[in-house]
Each structure stands twice: as C-alpha cells, then as structure tokens.
Structure 1
Amino acid sequence: MADAPLILTLGLDTASFERLDAMRRRHFPRERNFIPAHLTLFHHLPGEKEEEVAATLRAVTREAAPIPLAVTGLRFLGRGTACEIDAPPLVALRRDLTARWRNDLTRQDAQGFRPHVTIQNKVPGAEARTTFETLRSAFSPFEATGTGLILWHYRGGPWEEAGTFPFGG
C-alpha cells in the first residue's frame, strides 16, 4: 500500500547495534518484539511522498560524516527502559529534517527529540522498574557511531526496509 507511513531511523555501527539489540531481545516482550533495536528519528512520514523523502535523505547524507554517539545512561519509561543517547550532530540533523518536512509531520514528530534506543516497553510497571534497576546497576557508558539513515515502511507488523542512506554517500 503506497500510502503506508514511513519511519526513519539511524543506522548504527555493527558492534553497538549488536550490543543494543541483544539487550532488546533479552528484555522486550517476545510477543511484541517484531523489530531490532533502533533509534527512531521520525515515526510517521507520509508514504505517498516516499520518492521525495528518499531524495531529501540522499541529499543530506551524501556529504555528511558518520555521527559520534555517546550512550550515556538509561531512562525509565514507566513501562520500560531506554538507553539515552547524547549526540548534538544528530539533534542538528533531525532539526534540519524537521524544518524541511514541517508541513508533513505528526504532532509526535513535530515535538522535541530526545535520542534513545528502547530496550523494553509495554510491560507492567513493577517489571519495568525491576529491569531498569537491574540494568542501571550494571550499566557502563559507551561510544557508538551513526552510520546513515534507514527508511522503513510501516504496514502494521514488522517494518519493511524502504531504503538505506549511508553517511558520505
């Protein structure tokens, strides 16, 4: 379906992705874990504008360098846990894309951006708190790299890749 919404995520270096995805597989409810670990930049871009969105992504990533990321800590989500990401260049990139697409954004995508990778979500509060405390007690900050942008089709189930846009071409 051509008008299915598009999701935009940040591609991660292999070692960081594998580390975050292992955490997600361990803690995210199996029956709801349809997708690997990811850092979402936009949750709902217009599917009918896929070619236009892809052209913008090609243009902005062509000259962009990989983005340094600092995984600085954990955030309690109430019903889950996320790894917090500090990355001023990523925030600047998202701000630029927000300005370009401002007329097409949902309220969720138009509001503030706090980069994170969700490790657990949609579990009872007590379970979420236990997971958060367990993970926090063993957490050590680490460095990662954003390697490009990944565009996905959302059709109600697992996401389907619509394009990969590596930084630097």
Structure 2
Amino acid sequence: MDHAPLIVTLELHPMHQPFFNGLRKAHFPAHANYLDAHITLFHHLPSNEPCIYETLTVLSKQTPFTLKVNGLHRFENGVAYTLASDILQTLHQSMQEKWKAWLVWRDQQPLWPHITIQNKVTAFKSQQLHEKLGAAFVPFEVAAVGITTWLYLNGPWERVAYFPFTSQEKEIPTQNQQ
C-alpha cells in the first residue's frame, strides 16, 4: 500500500501567522494558494514510519525560540522572506541525522529557512513585489512554537500532528550530577 508523503513544518506563533498569510493572500495566485504561510523543514518523509513521530516528540521538549526575518529572496517566479536561527539549524541537523535512511535528495541539503509569500507568477510580477517589499524592509523577529506534520495529497495538505515546544524539559543529568 502506498502512503502519502509526510511534510514537516515549523509552526509560527499565532500572532505572527496573519502577517505572512495576508501577504500570501494578496500576492499568491488564488487558484494555487491553498496553504497558509509555512516554513518547510522536510518535504518527503514516509508517513508510516514511527521513528519520525518518536523523534519529534523528543525534540519538541525545548523552549520556543525566535527566528530573525533577515531579508527577502526573489526567485524566478516568486518572493520569500528569509529566516535565520542557529537553534533551528541545529534542530534540523538533528532530524537529518535521525532520519538519514529516509531522506530524499532535497531533504539531505542544508536547511534554507524561508516563508514563500508569492509563487507561480511571472518573473516581472515577482520582480515588482521584491522591489516593493524590499524598499521598506526592516529585519524583525518571529517566534517558533512547535513542529507540525502534514500528509501531502498531491496539492492540498492534511494536518497529521502538532508537537508544541515545551519549556518543561527535564534536565539530563551529566556524569557529575548522577
């Protein structure tokens, strides 16, 4: 039996989500905009692999953290906000190590965190939006509050599970503390 691929995204704090969703609604072609703004961590994992969910349960036992929205990136047919976070890079590398056996080529690459707000438009339209947003851009921060998994259904996504970051983590004793 074939299983739909699993997508893993970073969940933004609800107070930050409307800003990016609003930009997508304004600048993403309506016929192709069936997702909220998101930060994809992995594009294609096996949805029937328990290790993935076990890993996310363990890795979510950390404090929510901030990401710096540090710029805009224009690609041929769209625009995205670029993000920076050492914590996110470390978290992503941990997942890559745990899931190495299942990673497709794209998911083996270093993480380039971003939020796409426009895609599937002409190069001219993406250039216009990039210039408009770039003229007023000032770096800012957003909060990451968890990880969400989704089934990819050849277009739309179906939410599977949410792993909130918790600050209730237990300290792991070191050799000297035992």
Q: TM-score range by the shorter chain?
A: over 0.9
TM-score by length of 2: 0.90
Q: Distance in 2 between matches of 1:130 and 1:157?
A: 27
Structure exhibiting the larger radius of gyration computed from Cα positions? 2
Match of 1:29 in 2: 29
Aligned-residue RMSD, C-alpha: 1.3
Match of 1:41 in 2: 41
Match of 2:17 in 1: 17
Aligned to 1:123, what secondary structure does the other structure show? Answer: coil
Q: Distance in 2 between matches of 1:39 and 1:164?
A: 14
Match of 1:150 in 2: 148
Looking at secondary structure, tell me which structure has more helix per residue: 1
CA-CA distance at 1:2 after TM superposition: 6.1
Runs of 4 or more above 4 Å deviation: none
Structure 2: which 5+ runs fail to align? 169-178
Aligned to 1:65, what secondary structure does the other structure show? Answer: coil
Determine which of 82, 85, 89 is the counterpart of 2:83: 85
Q: Distance in 2 between matches of 1:88 and 1:29?
A: 33
Residues 13-162 of structure 1 mapped to structure 2, 5 A cutoff: 13-49=13-49, 51-62=50-61, 64-162=62-160
Q: Distance in 1 between matches of 2:133 and 2:57?
A: 37
> Does structure 2 retain, via aligned residues, the 8 Å contact 1:2–1:48?
no
> Does structure 2 retain, via aligned residues, the 8 Å contact 1:2–1:47?
no
TM-score by length of 1: 0.94
CA-CA distance at 1:52 after TM superposition: 2.5
Report the number of matched residues. 167
Q: Distance in 2 between matches of 1:52 and 1:160?
A: 20
Q: Distance in 1 between matches of 2:24 and 2:86?
A: 24
CA-CA distance at 1:56 after TM superposition: 1.1
Q: Percent identity?
A: 37
CA-CA distance at 1:140 after TM superposition: 2.1
